[in-house]
Structure formats: structure tokens, C-alpha cells
């Protein structure tokens, strides 16, 4: 199977067809908008934080399949985690996806590692990281986020 097929067929298209936690919820406590000005990708991330736990996380927006699938996977992975834990996982995800790094897997990221093929398409890495930046920004109370 080619890298391209791997990238699209295995994980991305499944999440793209059946997005988890998609859509703007009725209530949330934290929100941020992630925007990639160059490509025009837009993702909104909505969090409900109770105490220090993220009890709900949703997303919507308009972007490519990689960006949408990454957001879908992220919401599944982050839901129910403590705020500090979510932020440390964000740091790990940034390390995993860093352009030029040879890290192929970070066990603590569990199924999120399935996005690793994106690294073979460097121009698309920002598509995968946008929602994570938006999630971290929402926790920090920043209304907007970019991958720049």
C-alpha cells in the first residue's frame, strides 16, 4: 500500500465519514478558533471544563479530511482528561508531528499515533496539528490559535 493510500484509507477516511464529537454543542465553558490563514483551514474547538476535568469536547469547522479526522481523534482521546494532562498530551503531539524529527511513535498518545503517516506529507502537518493548537488555546483562554 502506498503512503498516500495509508494516509487516507486507514484512519483518516473512517473518521472523516464518521466524525466523533462533531458539531457545536449547546453549552461550553471554553472555546477557541484555529485558523490556518495560508490554507484557509478553520476549526472550532468547544470544551466544557468542570473542576479541572474536560468533561466534554466538540469541534466543527471547514477544513480538509486530515484536519477533520485529526480533530475527531483528538476529541476521543482528550475527553475526560484533566486539563494539565491534556496540555501535556498537546506537547507530546507537537513532538510527534515535528517536521524533520524521526519520532515515529509516542506510546502515551495511544491511537493518535495512527496519524503518523501525515509526517510523510510535510505540507499537510499543519492540517493535523491545527485542532490541537485550538484545544490548548481554549484551555488557556485564548480565543484564536494558529499553527504558525
Partner 1 sequence: MLNKQFHRDQFPGLHQEVNGKPLVYLDNAATAQRPQMVLDAINDYYINHNANIHRGVHSLSESATDLYENARKSLAKLLNAPSEKDLIFVRGCTEAVNLVAQTFVRSRVSKGDEILISHLEHHSNIVPWQLLCEQTGAVLKVIPMNDAGELCVDQLDDLLTEKTKFMSVVHVSNALGTINPVKEVVTKAHAKGVPVMLDGAQATPHLKVDVQDLDCDFYTVSGHKMYGPTGSGVLFGKAEHLNAMPPYHGGGEMISKVTFESTVYNAVPAKFEAGTPNIAGGIGLGAAAEFMMSIGMENIEQRDAELRVYAEQALAKVPGLRMLGTAKHKSPVFSFNIEGIHAHDIGTIIDHHGVAVRTGHHCTMPIFEYFGVAGSCRASFAFYNTEQDVDILVESLLKAIEMFK
DSSP output for the chain: --HHHIIIIIIIHHHHHS-TTBS--S--SEEEEEEETTTTEEEEEEEEEETTEEEEEEEEEE--HHHHHHHHHHHHHHTT-BHHHHHHHHHHHHHHH-TT------GGGGGGGGGGGGGGSGGGHHHHHHHHHHHHHHHTT-SEE---
Nearer to partner 1, 8 or 28 (CB): 8
Residues near 119 by beta carbon (within 8 Å), at least 6 away in sequence = 97, 99, 125
**Of 105, 85, 86, which Cα lies nearest the Cα of 95?**
105
Nearer to partner 1, 23 or 51 (CB): 23
- Within 9-48, the residues that bind partner 1 by CB under 8 A are 9, 13, 38-42
Q: Is 65 in the site for partner 1 (CB under 8 A)?
A: yes
- Write down the least CB distance from residue 9 to partner 1, Å: 7
Single out the segment in contact with partner 1 by CB under 8 A; choices: 52-60, 80-88, 119-127, 132-140.
119-127
Give the CB-side neighbour count of residue 69, counting CA atoms within 13 A: 24
Q: Is 104 in the site for partner 1 (CB under 8 A)?
A: no
- Write down the least CB distance from residue 13 to partner 1, Å: 7
Q: Is 63 in the site for partner 1 (CB under 8 A)?
A: yes
With CB under 8 A as the contact rule, the residue among 70, 72, 114, 127 that binds partner 1 is 127
- Write down the least CB distance from residue 40 to partner 1, Å: 4
- Write down the least CB distance from residue 28 to partner 1, Å: 23
Q: Which residues of this protein are in contact with partner 1, per CB under 8 A?
A: 2, 4-5, 7-9, 13, 38-42, 62-66, 121, 123-124, 127
Amino acid at each position: 500500500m502506498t503512503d498516500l493510500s495509508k494516509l487516507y484509507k486507514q484512519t483518516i477516511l473512517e473518521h472523516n465519514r464518521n466524525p466523533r464529537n462533531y458539531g457545536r454543542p449547546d453549552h461550553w465553558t471554553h472555546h477557541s478558533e484555529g485558523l490556518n490563514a495560508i490554507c484557509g483551514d478553520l476549526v472550532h474547538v468547544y470544551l466544557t471544563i468542570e473542576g479541572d476535568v474536560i468533561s466534554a469536547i466538540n469541534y466543527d469547522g471547514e477544513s480538509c479530511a486530515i484536519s477533520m479526522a485529526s480533530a475527531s481523534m483528538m476529541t476521543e482521546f482528550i475527553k475526560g482528561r484533566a486539563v494539565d494532562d491534556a496540555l501535556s498530551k498537546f506537547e507530546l503531539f507537537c513532538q510527534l508531528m515535528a517536521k524533520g524529527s524521526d519520532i515515529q511513535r509516542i506510546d502515551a498518545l495511544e491511537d493518535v499515533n495512527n496519524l503518523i503517516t501525515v509526517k510523510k506529507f510535510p505540507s499537510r502537518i499543519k492540517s493535523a496539528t491545527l485542532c490541537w493548537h485550538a484545544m490548548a488555546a481554549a484551555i488557556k483562554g485564548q480565543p484564536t490559535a494558529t499553527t504558525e
